[in-house]
Amino acid sequence: MHSSTDMAMSWSLLLPFALALVASASHAAIVEHTFNVGNLSISQLCQPDRIITAVNGQLPGPTIRASEGDTVVVHLVNESPYGMTIHWHGIFQRGSQWADGPAMVTQCPVQTGGNYTYSFNVTGQEGTLWWHAHFSFLRATVYGALIILPRGGAKAYPFTKPDKEEIVMFGEWWNANVFDLQQMALLTGIPAGPADAYTINGKPGDLYNCSAPNQTHMFEVRKNETYLLRIINAALNTPLFFKVANHTFTVVAADACYTTPYKTNVVVVGPGQTVDALMVADATVGRYYMAASPYDSGIPSGPAFSKTVATAVLEYAGGANTTSPPALPQLPEFNDTDTAHRFLSNLTALVLPGKPTMPLAVDTRMFVTVGMGVADCQPEQTLCNRSRTMFASSMNNASFVPPRSTSMLEAHYSNATAGVYTRDFPDQPPILFDYTADASNNATMQYTTKSTKVRTLRYNETVEMVLQNTRLIAKESHPMHLHGFNFFVLAQGFGNYNQTTAAPQFNLVNPQERNTVLVPTGGWAVIRFIADNPGIWYMHCHFEAHLDLGLGMVFEVQDGPTPDTSLPAPPKDLPQC
Ligand SMILES: *[C@@H]1O[C@H](CO)[C@@H](O)[C@H](O)[C@H]1NC(C)=O
Ligand SMILES: *[C@@H]1O[C@H](CO)[C@@H](O)[C@H](O)[C@H]1NC(C)=O
Ligand SMILES: *[C@@H]1O[C@H](CO)[C@@H](O)[C@H](O)[C@H]1NC(C)=O
Ligand SMILES: *[C@@H]1O[C@H](CO)[C@@H](O)[C@H](O)[C@H]1NC(C)=O
Ligand SMILES: *[C@@H]1O[C@H](CO)[C@@H](O)[C@H](O)[C@H]1NC(C)=O
Ligand SMILES: *[C@@H]1O[C@H](CO)[C@@H](O)[C@H](O)[C@H]1NC(C)=O
Ligand SMILES: *[C@@H]1O[C@H](CO)[C@@H](O)[C@H](O)[C@H]1NC(C)=O
Ligand SMILES: *[C@@H]1O[C@H](CO)[C@@H](O)[C@H](O)[C@H]1NC(C)=O
Ligand SMILES: *[C@@H]1O[C@H](CO)[C@@H](O)[C@H](O)[C@H]1NC(C)=O
Ligand SMILES: *[C@@H]1O[C@H](CO)[C@@H](O)[C@H](O)[C@H]1NC(C)=O
Ligand SMILES: *[C@@H]1O[C@H](CO)[C@@H](O)[C@H](O)[C@H]1NC(C)=O
Ligand SMILES: *[C@@H]1O[C@H](CO)[C@@H](O)[C@H](O)[C@H]1NC(C)=O
């Protein structure tokens, strides 16, 4: 392992090679970066220095800024001791399916000392997205923002042009090595413990028992100016409430899709989700806390979570008393599902000419349970106590395991799927039952088995999926993320889904469009998307702990009729296993 001085030197040598070409107003540009992934020595929470995995020695990693229509090229150079892949969360990857990133789904990890160039366009997308490692728990420290401006710049926003923009990116910090945590969770079948802190732009803030001056992110504002906050939840396992004392928000976008302006004093953001909100600095000149606190949706109780609050400080220029403590917002209770649901269910799309509209005809209907369960210890789980079963999670009672020898996209492309995956992911659970009743939470219903199943879709078919949370082990609000597409959220509610009562509530006019939906705890959500992007697309819970336990499935979308609608050949430098 390198010493920290060696690393500091190699970073200073490599950083100048990271270049970003700025888009000209009228032409699509190439936005190019080099991501050197390696060890970074850092002290958080006044603990001794820790070695973490980070991009270009930064936490969070570098921000990518592009304009709609640009091509983003990122050279990933893996100098870390672990395998590495990067997922460009929310990017459609049309024509660049091999750049999506999830380990063993679209690519083998880049080995230590290896490199891979991700290249994709950001056509037809604008707003706040992000990127993160998609291997082990490494996204805990390998993540950053990906901002796509409109082609015409900020003046082309469909809302008041802000005076300034700020990235507000939440994370979760462990004092322990997160790769080791994941390995131990896998070997034992016991999920890793809660984070030691939540962070805002990499810093926990000063409500933790540590007063280092560099642990709090500062935002400076000017009286009466309007700020566009690009809020991103990069935390591994925790949805968060976000408030700023004495300030309110107008939400204008979520998951890089514009929304009807929505006024609120609290933002709710699940892992994987983003929210763009305007905030006017209209309070008395002073200092205010921006605070992120956990939303715990577990009923009767979910996994342990850190009952702490991350803060940053909003400080007005010109005259704020810097010795008086900032005002703290009144935060919702950790289990305030009413507040979470009010925010999440009230967002609607801003319907704009030329933007995708809701498909009204449906080709394939799926009813999919999402939730927890148990499974037998697997052979590779050498520390698993074989006298008991271990936690598992599943969709339609199939608990997903990624293949080991080759990626699913390579198997799909070369038509060599035998031994890699099977095409039998079911359209409904094997048993129809009272999904949310306490009485259903018995050993028989909890039991699930491991498999690698896909649902094959014809090119261009419209899929409607009901996501139904269960009471097995615990009800929880799972952030379900779909790769390769946005989907429309037609309706959501609590209890068991009932088509007769739900269908009249469907929003067929301006449903919110997202890439990640927080399915209400003990409830359901209905989504629709058009499978017009051939390839292999992961759909999974964005709680890293649940992903590891199998809460995922994969869509295999067949080629369309033309070369343009078909999966291209893999790039020459695609990493091999
Ligand atoms: C804060 O500064 C100290 C001393 O320079 C450094 O060791 C530590 O890594 C820094 N922590 C963060 C979170 O930047
Ligand atoms: C880029 O965007 C266009 C328009 O959506 C698409 O046709 C093309 O295949 C995309 N991908 C690449 C790699 O050029
Ligand atoms: C990337 O890997 C190739 C093949 O191993 C190697 O030739 C090249 O030097 C590497 N580039 C960098 C920047 O490490
Ligand atoms: C802020 O706006 C208020 C109301 O319009 C005005 O009275 C005040 O002078 C403004 N302050 C500054 C510093 O611009
Ligand atoms: C902030 O809001 C609180 C509660 O609404 C109020 O008591 C306090 O006076 C406000 N502080 C400032 C500086 O406006
Ligand atoms: C600043 O705040 C401190 C602590 O609340 C207080 O003692 C001091 O008088 C304040 N200074 C001014 C100029 O208001
Ligand atoms: C939330 O938790 C508190 C205790 O922390 C409890 O009194 C309250 O009933 C809970 N609310 C809900 C809706 O579960
Ligand atoms: C939002 O949704 C809730 C139901 O959860 C509803 O009571 C409320 O009126 C809605 N509207 C707004 C503006 O919050
Ligand atoms: C894929 O392989 C199977 C089995 O070898 C074969 O029957 C099938 O025709 C192949 N499909 C394509 C599209 O090549
Ligand atoms: C377990 O729950 C299911 C679904 O509610 C039910 O059909 C079954 O009878 C229950 N089994 C036992 C042993 O309680
Ligand atoms: C996709 O489906 C839509 C609606 O059914 C249809 O209008 C369009 O022509 C189809 N596109 C292709 C390439 O098949
Ligand atoms: C669904 O709702 C309808 C109308 O309220 C009701 O008649 C029906 O029994 C419900 N179905 C189930 C399975 O509960």
pLDDT tens for each residue of 106-137:
999 999 999 999 999 999 999 999 999 999 99
Q: Of the bound ligands, which one is closest to the alpha carbon of residue 300?
A: 7
| Residue at token pair 């933007």 | 355
Q: Which two tokens stand for residue 561?
A: 């009729």
Residue whose Cα lies nearest atom 8 of ligand 4: it is 224
Assigned CATH topology for domain 364-565: Immunoglobulin-like (2.60.40)
Query: For residue range 139-174, what is the model confidence (pLDDT) as tens digits?
Result: 999 999 999 999 999 999 999 999 999 999 999 999
Which residue's CA is the nearest one to ligand 3's atom 13? Answer: 77
Q: Do 260 and 510 form a contact (C-beta atoms < 8 A)?
A: yes
Q: What is the 3-state composition of the chain as percent helix, strand, coil, each rounded to the nearest 5?
A: 15, 40, 50
Relative to the CA of 338, which ligand 8 atom is closest? 5
User: What is the tens place of the pLDDT at every residue in 292-326?
Assistant: 999 999 999 988 999 999 999 999 998 778 888 99
Would the CB of 123 count as within 6 Å of ligand 2? yes
Residue 426 alpha carbon to ligand 10 centre in Å: 21
Among the listed residues 88, 79, 138, the one whose alpha carbon sits nearest the alpha carbon of residue 111:
79
Asked whether 550 and 393 are in contact (CB, 8 A), the reply is yes
In angstroms, the CA 129 to CA 131 distance is: 7
Domains 25-155 and 364-565 are alike in CATH topology: yes
SS3 494: strand
Greatest mean pLDDT range, 61-70, 349-358, 385-394: 61-70
The closest residue, in CA terms, to atom 14 on ligand 11 is 460
What does the alpha-carbon distance between residue 422 and residue 248 come to, in Å, rounded to a whole number? 49
User: In this predicted structure, what is the pLDDT of residue 6?
Assistant: 34
Q: Which ligand is nearest to the CA of 30?
A: 2
Distance between first and last Cα of the chain: 23
CA 159 to chain centre: 25
- Our answer on whether the CB atom of 250 is closer than 6 Å to any ligand 3 atom is no
Closest-CA residue, ligand 11 atom 11, reads 460
State in Å: Cα 451 to ligand 9 middle: 22
pLDDT attached to residue 538: 98
Ligand 3 pocket, residue 115 CB under 6 Å: yes
Weakest-pLDDT range from 337-341, 355-359, 365-369, 463-467:
355-359
What are residue 153's DSSP bridge partners? none
Ligand 9 centroid, distance to 12 Cα (angstroms)? 51
Question: Ligand 12 within 6 A of 498 CB?
Answer: yes
- Checking if the pLDDT of 5 tops 80, the result is no
Pocket of ligand 7 (CB under 6 A): 333, 335
What number does the ligand 12 atom closest to the CA of 498 have?
Answer: 1
The C-alpha atoms of residue 197 and residue 202 are separated, in whole angstroms, by 10
Omega within 30 of 0 (cis) for the link into 62: no
In terms of C-beta density within 10 A (0-12 exposed, 13-18 middle, 19 or more buried), how is residue 121 classed?
buried
Q: Residue 432: nearest ligand to its CA?
A: 10
Confidence grade of residue 15 (pLDDT, cut at 50, 70, 90): very low
How close is the Cα of 368 to the center of ligand 9, in Å?
29
Round to whole Å and give the CA distance between 379 and 425. 23
Per-residue pLDDT tens over the stretch 252-271: 999 999 999 999 999 999 99
- The mean pLDDT value for 455-482 works out to 98
Going from the Cα of 332 to the center of ligand 7, the distance in angstroms, rounded, reads 11
pLDDT tens track for 520-534: 999 999 999 999 999
Distance 112 CA to ligand 3 centre (A): 11
CATH of 157-347, one of 1.10.3720.10, 2.40.110.10, 3.40.50.300, 2.60.40.420: 2.60.40.420
Q: Among 528, 531, 522, which Cα is nearest to 555's? A: 531
Half-sphere exposure of 47 (CA within 13 A, CB side): 16
Collapsing DSSP states into helix, strand and coil, what is residue 475? strand
- Tell me, in angstroms, the distance from the centre of ligand 9 to residue 568's CA: 18
Which residue is closest in CA terms to ligand 3's atom 1?
Answer: 115
**Is ligand 8 within 6 A of the CB of residue 217?**
no
| Cα 5 to middle of ligand 1, angstroms | 15
% the chain with pLDDT above 70: 95
How much is the pLDDT for 26?
A: 53
User: If you average pLDDT over residues 217-227, what whole number do you get?
Assistant: 97
Lowest mean pLDDT: which of 86-95, 202-211, 237-246?
A: 202-211
Place of tokens 């010795």: 323
Residue 355: predicted pLDDT: 82
Cα gap 307→333, rounded to integer Å: 10
Pocket test for ligand 12, best of 468, 501, 505 (most atoms within 8 A of CB): 501
The residues spanned by each domain of the chain are 25-155, 157-347, 364-565
| ∠ CA 240-252-533, rounded to 5° | 85
For residue 558, how far is its CA from the centre of ligand 9 (angstroms)?
13
Q: Beta-strand (E) ranges in 336-408?
A: 364-375, 390-395, 398-400
Q: What is the pLDDT of residue 20?
A: 35
* Cβ neighbours of residue 404 closer than 8 Å, sequence gap 6 or more: 104, 577
- With beta carbons less than 8 A apart as the criterion, state whether 157 and 140 touch: no
Which residues, other chains included, contact 228 with Cβ-Cβ below 8 Å and sequence gap of 6+? 162, 164, 165, 166, 252, 276, 277, 278
CA of 339 to the centre of ligand 8 (A): 9
Indicate whether residue 345 lines ligand 8 (CB < 6 A).
yes
Average pLDDT for 57-84:
98
CATH architecture type of domain 25-155: Sandwich (2.60)
| Predicted pLDDT of residue 210 | 87
Phi-psi region of 202 (alpha: psi -120 to 50; beta: other; left: phi over 0): left
Closest protein CA for atom 11 of ligand 12: 498
- Of the listed ranges 182-196, 457-471, 544-558, the least confidently predicted one is 182-196
Ligand 6 center from residue 318 Cα (angstroms): 15
Find out whether the beta carbon of 197 lies less than 6 Å from any atom of ligand 3.
no
Report pLDDT for 547. 96
pLDDT tens across 416-444, in order?
999 999 999 999 999 999 999 999 999 99
Q: For residue 333, which atom of ligand 7 is closest to its CA?
A: 1
Ligand 1 atom nearest 214 alpha carbon: 1
Site to probe by mutation for ligand 10, drawn from 444, 446, 468, 470 as the one with most ligand atoms within 8 Å of Cβ, is 444
3-class state of residue 16 by DSSP:
helix
